[in-house]
Each structure stands twice: as C-alpha cells, then as structure tokens.
Amino acid sequence: MQCTSSQNPNNERSEEMIRYIKYCRRCVMPETKPDLLIDGEGVCSACRYYEHRKAVDWKKRGEELASILERFRSKSGDHYDCIIPVSGGKDSTFQTIRMLELGMNPLCVTATTDRLSTIGRKNIENLKNLGVDYIEVSTNPVVRRRINRIALTQIGDVSWPEHVAIFTIPVRIAVQLKVPLIIWGENSQNEYGGPAGDAQNNTLTRQWLEEFGGLLGLRVSDLIGQDGIKRSDLIQFFYPEDSELRRVGVTGLFLGYYLPWDGYQNALIAQASGFTSYHKTVEGSIVNYENLDNCQTGIHDYFKFLKYAFGRATDLACLHIRRQRLSREDAMNLVKAHDGKFPNQYLDCTLNDILDDIGMSMEEFVNVCDRFTNKKLFQCDTRGNLIKDRSGNLTKINYDNVVDEDRRDS
C-alpha cells in the first residue's frame, strides 16, 4: 500500500516512479540520495567516481600539494602558513598530523558544535597537543538554540547552523589574520558523488558553500526577525565579502584531492596520535570512530533518513564496500539493523535533553518528524498513516532491489 502525501518536500520524482526504491548494484546507496545518479548498468555515480580514483597519479598530486604549500609558507615566520578548520574528529586530526609532517605551521580553527559531547572536547584537547596554535569560536548559545529550532521546523535540519559556521568561521579568521591558505578535508562531492563538474573542483568558494554547504534553501539573512534574532546575533554566520577575500587572497584546497582519502585510514592514524573512539558503535552508525562531537547529530541523521530513506549506516557501508572491506550482502544486513532508528539517544545525550535545550516537546518533535517524512518511501496503513513500531521506528517500502531483479531475470 502506497500512501499519498501532500508533504513531500524533497522528492522530485513523479508519483508513478516511487513504488520501489532502486539501489546501486555495487554499493547500497538508494537513488533517493540528492544528486546521485544510477546508470544503465545499475551503478551509482559515487561508485563510478571511486573507479576513477584508481587512475589517479597520487605521486604527482602529492608533488602538486608540496609546491602549493611551499608557495604559502611564511618565509619570515611572522604569519601562520595555513588555517586548518578542525572539529577534533578523525579527519581533522589526520589533516593536522599531515600538515605538521609537511613542515607547515598551521593555525587550527574550530567552530564549536551545536552541542559538544564529552568525547568531542577530549579529542579537541588531544588535537591541540599535537603541537599547534588553536582558536575556537563559539557563537551565542542562546541564539544558536533558537536557530536549531527554526532550522529543524522549517527545513528539517537541526544541524544547519553548524554546517554554516564550520564554513564561515575559518574563512572569517583567514581574512582577519591575513592567512590566505585554508586546508579543508575532503570534497564531499568527490567521495559521495554529485555533479561531475564539481568533482573536479578542488577549491572552496562562496558559490560552493551555497551549492553544497548544506544550506537547503535557508539563507542566513532569512533568520533576521525570527524569534527575536537580530542581524548582530549572526555575525559569525556570514561569509566574508568577496572584496575582503580578494584583499587577503583567501583560497582553499581539499586535501582529499591531493592524498588518497579514506576515513578509516584517517581514524587509525588519528588513534595512534591519541584520538579517542567511542566505547561502542555510535547510534545509527556501524562504526565508533566518527561523528563524535555533536550530540544533535542523531537528529540530523534521522531526518536524512526520513527524507531520503537512508542514514549514516548506509553512507559508511558504501565507503567500506568500495574499499572492499565489506560485501554488499553484509553491508545490506548492517544497514537494515542500524539505519534510521528513532534517535532516543546519541553519545552522552538523550533526545529529551536535546529537545529541552531547544525548547521543543517530544510531541512537537514527532509532529515535525512526520511532516518531513517522505511517505512514499515508508510503509503506511490503509488510511495513509505511517506504520511505526513500539519504539517509533519506520519500515521502508523495500530494502533492496538487486536480489529481486536478479531472481526475476534468471
């Protein structure tokens, strides 16, 4: 039974097409992922992009990186050589280790997460002790919680202010301290697929932020006047003007373009330098070494599941399949077991704690969830209401298509 839905904010396909979710034959990503294409052979654009990595001359890319770094290194020692935006996570710990190995004198910059976890703070302190100068910018938490609430109810993404701030704050610091080079981690369009033209884009611009930075159509200026928020409350969320960027010559590179990027490898390297993984598998995930710094991430990932019928477990399973660390069958079983569970707990916070923080009742939260659920992707009863188990979990209309198609074809 397919339910009809007037609330279908994110699916652009025709109603006729959404009777069955199609998945990549190689990984486990569904076609519902924004900007992902599944080709005539049933293989997704992210898997195709990963194939191309085999032909990359990494030695040459490494040499390109060395020559870029040389150009920006402060000869007098009066200035930092580069800025590294860091969260203290496995990737930013790896970025910092590599930059130090390459002889750079970085300034590490953190935009404090929406709700920093205990383990997140511990990993930030560890990162500082790699031997770097460090600046942390925390935006007004009272305003931040209002923005979390506005973003959750209006675009179904509680993490919107965090996704904005992690781009704007390091760029603002680069302008203020006149440090032109910013070392970003991976370009998500490379690793996770997306328009092919952008996969070659190894610099970050305002245009990139607006297209891929997770703004979801909500602009920073849209917040002015909502819930008492003033322009002066939002200073850190605004990207510097183009004229300021040009004056300092701010540029950025994605380290993932120059070095073969692998989150698991980064975690191993980070752990060997004191990075702490979680003591168990992170809720909604299949690993214990990433997304450890923000207790609101459980809500963020859950809404992705409600909109597109895949969550963090799917993302991770796909990365491990492409690197031949998981079979598709095992990955599918892990996804079924872990993806998209109602986010009662994430790291050291309960959902109740987080909702109290942002001034939302559980009832209101469940209503917002239902409003952003793409009902065509989940099982509903004969009256069109979502079917939930006792824990509030939904069931997808189908969890795979490849096995069914192969059976039909044979």
Residues forming contacts to Zn ion in the complex (CB under 5 A) are: 24, 26-27, 44, 47
Q: Kindly report the number of other CB atoms within 10 A of residue 334's CB atom.
A: 20
Identify the three-state secondary structure at position 116: strand
DSSP code of 26?
A: S
Kindly state the smallest distance separating residue 400's Cβ from Zn ion, in Å: 13
- Closest CB to Zn ion among residues 47, 111: 47
- Closest CB to Zn ion among residues 26, 144: 26
> Quick one: angle between helices 45-53 and 312-322, nearest 10?
40
Kindly state the smallest distance separating residue 20's Cβ from Zn ion, in Å: 17
For residue 77 the two structure tokens come to 């020692």
- Closest CB to Zn ion among residues 46, 111: 46
Kindly state the smallest distance separating residue 201's Cβ from Zn ion, in Å: 21
Q: Which of 353, 350, 358, 347 is nearest to 118 (CA)?
A: 347
- Closest CB to Zn ion among residues 26, 98: 26
Distance of CA 130 to the CA centre of its chain: 25
Q: How far apart are CA 278 and CA 270, in angstroms?
A: 13
- Closest CB to Zn ion among residues 113, 189: 189
Kindly state the smallest distance separating residue 318's Cβ from Zn ion, in Å: 6
Q: Kindly report the number of other CB atoms within 10 A of residue 31's CB atom.
A: 18
Kindly state the smallest distance separating residue 33's Cβ from Zn ion, in Å: 10
Q: How far apart are CA 346 and CA 301, in angstroms?
A: 11
Kindly state the smallest distance separating residue 163's Cβ from Zn ion, in Å: 24
Residues 326, 320 contacting (CB under 8 angstroms) = yes
Residues 271, 128 contacting (CB under 8 angstroms) = no
- Closest CB to Zn ion among residues 326, 380: 326
**Which residue's CB comes closest to Zn ion?**
24
